[in-house]
Amino acid sequence: MLQNQKQPPAILSHRGRSDRFFRICLKYSVLCKILSIIFFQLHMNPLNSRRHWVSLGMIMFHNVLLAGPPGTGKTMLAKRLPGIMPPLQEEEALQVTKIYSAAGKLPGGIPSLMRERQFRSPHHTISAAGLIGGGSIPRPGEATLAHRGVLFLDELPEFSRAALEVLRQPLEDREVTIARSRAVFRFPASFLLAASMNPCPCGYYGHDSDDQRCICSEIQIARYRAKISGPLLDRIDMHIEVPRPLASEGLTSGMTTSEMRALVLQAVRRRSERPSGSRGLGELAGASLRKAVEMTKAADELLRKAFDSLGVSLRAHDRILKLARTIADLDGQDRVDQEHVAEAIGYRSLDRKLHTL
Ligand SMILES: [Zn+2]
């Protein structure tokens, strides 16, 4: 009797094994379904997806990492972002002007209202203090000078680990906190992070051509990519691979800057007209975020399955949801559908590649 309790009857243990087998099969079939939808969204309809990312990056401050070989126009693409973003509102322009005035960096030294969104592109040798601010009486760093604009980090893995890690706080809180013995200083730092990187130290991994071949060892590539930590990648919503042909196709996919800005403004208007849209999604997380984003049943199901199968973090889950909301806005849809969720998940493909290499 005692023996029977310790060792379950053969029939039960057989059922346990088949249940486990069934669950594994189910998990992989779900994973295949998700990946096939993502593949369809990103590869079968490239113009649509490129239209989306060009518009998305600037609209609600979705951070972007552009990865690709040298000479594909990654920097040029990033430089266009401020021109496509919605114009600064009066209050935002005042805030930016105040920051530049305090830093002694008003353009031409003339005290007039700065109405343009700023594009800051510090060199990769910059220190952590230079990036977020420092000194005995702290002065604003690049993160604050990029407030309401774009902070572009060209060649992201070349930045020191210390500099990249201090960015995590402003990316989360949208402000910089610097503690000194006498006081705690707070600087606004709500910026769009745009970064670029090569796929490997020489730049040609996965993009070999007749005249250019990757010469890096696997260890060199792994070391290069490991310079970007998982937590930092978690805070970057869109990992875009910029392939070589993009340059020859032109960088706009047939859209001018003003056309792209019009598309963005239309989406912003749609968002502000929605009852839950007026307060924005920036600060929301977890259950309150899910409540604010109206989804179709299919979209909700896909997001849940992706969360279980792909092992994304809770932070990444929330960011995917916000990105899906923006994609639906650009599509003119009030409810987020599964194609929007699939596209948002697809934009996070690089972090899996970085860690599985
Ligand atoms: Zn290489």
Q: What is the pLDDT of residues 6-62, one digit of tens each?
A: 444 444 444 455 566 555 555 555 555 554 444 444 443 343 455 555 566 656 668
Q: Judge if 92 and 229 occupy the same domain.
A: yes
Question: How far, in Å, is the centroid of ligand 1 from the Cα of 260?
Answer: 34
Instruction: Tell the residue number behind the tokens 């299919």, with chain if given.
Output: 298
Q: Judge if 42 and 91 occupy the same domain.
A: no
**What confidence score (pLDDT) does residue 355 get?**
46
Among 179, 207, 236, the domain-final residue is 236
**What confidence score (pLDDT) does residue 240 get?**
81
- CA–CA dist 48, 257 (Å, integer): 16
Task: Name residues whose C-beta falls within 8 Å of residue 237's C-beta, 6 or more positions apart in sequence.
Answer: 62, 63, 64, 319, 320, 322, 323, 344, 347, 348
21 domain residue, yes or no: no
How much is the mean pLDDT over the chain?
A: 78
Q: Judge if 345 and 261 occupy the same domain.
A: yes
pLDDT digits (tens, 9 = 90+) for 123-176: 999 999 999 998 888 889 999 999 999 999 999 999 999 999 999 999 988 999
Higher pLDDT pick, 36 / 328? 328
**What confidence score (pLDDT) does residue 315 get?**
82
Measured CA distances, 110 to 104, 105, 113, 262 (Å): 10, 10, 9, 31
Question: How far, in Å, is the centroid of ligand 1 from the Cα of 256?
Answer: 34
212 domain residue, yes or no: yes
Q: Judge if 265 and 283 occupy the same domain.
A: yes
Question: How far, in Å, is the centroid of ligand 1 from the Cα of 214?
Answer: 4
321 domain residue, yes or no: yes
**What confidence score (pLDDT) does residue 254 get?**
55
Contact 271, 322 (CB under 8 A): no
Q: Judge if 303 and 211 occupy the same domain.
A: no
Percent of the chain residues topping a pLDDT of 70: 74
28 domain residue, yes or no: no
Q: Judge if 229 and 106 occupy the same domain.
A: yes
As for how many domains the chain has, the answer is 2
**What confidence score (pLDDT) does residue 92 get?**
93
Question: How far, in Å, is the centroid of ligand 1 from the Cα of 40?
Answer: 29
Q: Judge if 136 and 229 occupy the same domain.
A: yes
246 domain residue, yes or no: no
Cα dihedral sign, 250-256-262-265? positive
Average pLDDT over residues 218-246: 82
pLDDT bin (cut points 50, 70, 90) of residue 250 is very low
Higher pLDDT pick, 296 / 112? 296
**What confidence score (pLDDT) does residue 12 get?**
41
Q: Judge if 50 and 166 occupy the same domain.
A: no
Q: Judge if 269 and 229 occupy the same domain.
A: no
pLDDT bin (cut points 50, 70, 90) of residue 5 is very low
Question: How far, in Å, is the centroid of ligand 1 from the Cα of 224?
Answer: 10
Question: How far, in Å, is the centroid of ligand 1 from the Cα of 222?
Answer: 11
**What confidence score (pLDDT) does residue 129 get?**
93
Question: How far, in Å, is the centroid of ligand 1 from the Cα of 213?
Answer: 7
Range of the domain at 225: 63-236
248 domain residue, yes or no: no
Question: How far, in Å, is the centroid of ligand 1 from the Cα of 73?
Answer: 18
Q: Judge if 214 and 308 occupy the same domain.
A: no
Q: With a cut of 80, say whether residue 99 has pLDDT above it.
A: yes
Q: Judge if 179 and 327 occupy the same domain.
A: no
Higher pLDDT pick, 219 / 267? 219
Among 176, 205, 236, the domain-final residue is 236
**What confidence score (pLDDT) does residue 22 get?**
53
CATH number at residue 103: 3.40.50.300
Question: How far, in Å, is the centroid of ligand 1 from the Cα of 218?
Answer: 9
Average pLDDT over residues 223-246: 80
Q: Judge if 287 and 340 occupy the same domain.
A: yes
159 domain residue, yes or no: yes
207 domain residue, yes or no: yes
